[in-house]
């Protein structure tokens, strides 16, 4: 079975286990965002991704694999609390499978959240930035391989409007304080060298991370509208005098959790 068909099967399983027939919005929760998501209300169902076809188990501390289904004021929301990354040794198809599954389950809008490094010294850790565009430095694509079967996706996809201008405008109406940035997606799991951060800045990036870009492409390929929200958790290498570490990242998430949850709760009804 190809990856697109596996996503269809997983979507049918999700419908059965969750009791939700369809979704309006799917939200992928990155580091820091998961803790805040309780602000969206109590889930009506929680499906472990281990019970769904094609899902692999996240290995990163703070990422557990569950799909929560919520009714947020009449908006049907799928919350994906686990994310898998290329750097865990997973394939590109495995990395984007959760996104393909929730789109196959009906979600036409996908919100990708993450924690990232900030290249601009004026953007301090704890700041949320709306992704305006990305630079995919993973040297791969979720669309690589045989063309999708008829009706399940096209051979090529236009990424001119990858991060939906409509959704970004809706965010700016609701939360005008949020700035926009360009996210450079690296494979990791090492953080960058200072020279690589100079490269990323020169190329036009203001954010660096290890997720999001492949999921965004896969979602757009399946005609979903994509919104990307980044929590800047640390200054990228060489931007500040201090060293980088993963604990600092987790701490930034914990400190920001409540406001991230409030932001999601504010955005869901207006997207």
Query: Cβ of 150: how many Cβ atoms within 10 Å?
Result: 6
Residue 28 is a binding residue for ligand 8IG (CB under 6 A): no
Closest by CA to 85, choosing from 157, 28, 159, 12, is: 28
Residue placing its CB nearer to ligand 8IG in the complex, 206 or 233: 233
Half-sphere exposure of 224 (CA within 13 A, CB side): 30
Residue placing its CB nearer to ligand 8IG in the complex, 100 or 134: 134
For ligand 8IG, the binding residue among 209, 257, 264, 268 (CB under 6 A) is 209
Structure tokens at 119: 């290249």
Residue placing its CB nearer to ligand 8IG in the complex, 117 or 142: 117
Residue placing its CB nearer to ligand 8IG in the complex, 145 or 194: 194
Residue placing its CB nearer to ligand 8IG in the complex, 4 or 186: 186
| Closest distance to ligand 8IG from the beta carbon of 230 (Å) | 9
Residue 115 is a binding residue for ligand 8IG (CB under 6 A): yes
| Residues whose CB is less than 8 angstroms from the CB of residue 171 and which lie 6 or more positions away in sequence, other chains included | 130, 178, 227, 229, 267, 271
Residue 13 is a binding residue for ligand 8IG (CB under 6 A): no
For ligand 8IG, the binding residue among 3, 11, 208, 229 (CB under 6 A) is 208
| Closest distance to ligand 8IG from the beta carbon of 167 (Å) | 23
Residue placing its CB nearer to ligand 8IG in the complex, 40 or 115: 115
For CA atoms 131, 132, 137, 141, the dihedral sign is positive
Distances (CA, A) of 104 to 15, 107, 145: 10, 7, 20
For ligand 8IG, the binding residue among 192, 214, 261, 263 (CB under 6 A) is 192
Structure tokens at 221: 């390929």
| Closest distance to ligand 8IG from the beta carbon of 93 (Å) | 22
Q: Which residue is nearest to ligand 8IG (CB)?
A: 117
What does the alpha-carbon distance between residue 97 and residue 91 come to, in Å, rounded to a whole number? 10
**Treating both helix axes as pointing N-terminal to C-terminal, what angle do 92-104 and 3-18 enclose, rounded to 10 degrees?**
50
Span between the terminal Cα atoms of the chain, in Å = 34
| Closest distance to ligand 8IG from the beta carbon of 137 (Å) | 9
Residue 236 is a binding residue for ligand 8IG (CB under 6 A): yes
| Residues whose CB is less than 8 angstroms from the CB of residue 150 and which lie 6 or more positions away in sequence, other chains included | none
Closest by CA to 271, choosing from 232, 228, 216, 211, is: 228
For ligand 8IG, the binding residue among 20, 33, 183, 191 (CB under 6 A) is 191
Query: Cβ of 242: how many Cβ atoms within 10 Å?
Result: 9
Residue placing its CB nearer to ligand 8IG in the complex, 20 or 186: 186
Residues in touch with ligand 8IG (CB under 6 A): 31, 115-117, 186, 188, 191-192, 208-210, 233-234, 236, 244, 249
């Amino acid at each position: 079975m190809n990856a697109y068909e596996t996503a269809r099967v997983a979507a049918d399983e999700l419908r059965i286990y969750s009791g939700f027939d369809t979704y309006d919005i799917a939200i992928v929760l990155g580091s820091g965002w998961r803790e805040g998501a309780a602000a969206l209300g109590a889930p009506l169902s929680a499906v472990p991704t281990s019970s769904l076809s094609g899902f692999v188990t996240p290995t990163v501390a703070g990422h557990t694999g569950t799909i929560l289904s919520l009714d947020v004021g009449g908006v049907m929301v799928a919350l994906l609390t686990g994310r898998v990354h290329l750097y865990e040794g997973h394939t590109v198809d495995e990395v984007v499978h959760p996104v393909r599954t929730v789109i196959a389950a009906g979600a036409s809008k996908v919100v990708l959240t993450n924690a990232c490094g900030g290249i601009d010294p004026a953007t301090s850790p704890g700041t949320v930035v709306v992704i305006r565009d990305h630079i995919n430095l993973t040297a791969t694509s979720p669309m690589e391989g045989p063309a999708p079967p008829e009706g399940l996706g096209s051979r090529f996809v236009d990424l001119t409007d990858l991060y939906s201008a409509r959704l970004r405008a809706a965010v700016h109406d609701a939360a005008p304080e949020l700035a926009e940035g360009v996210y450079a997606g690296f494979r990791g799991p090492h953080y960058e060298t200072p020279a690589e951060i100079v490269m990323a800045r020169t190329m036009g990036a203001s954010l660096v991370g290890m997720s999001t870009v492949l999921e965004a492409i896969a979602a757009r390929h399946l005609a979903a509208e994509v919104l990307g929200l980044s929590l800047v958790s640390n200054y990228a290498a060489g931007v500040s005098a201090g060293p980088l570490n993963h604990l600092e990242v987790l701490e930034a998430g914990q400190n920001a959790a409540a406001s991230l949850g409030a932001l999601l709760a504010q955005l869901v009804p207006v997207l």
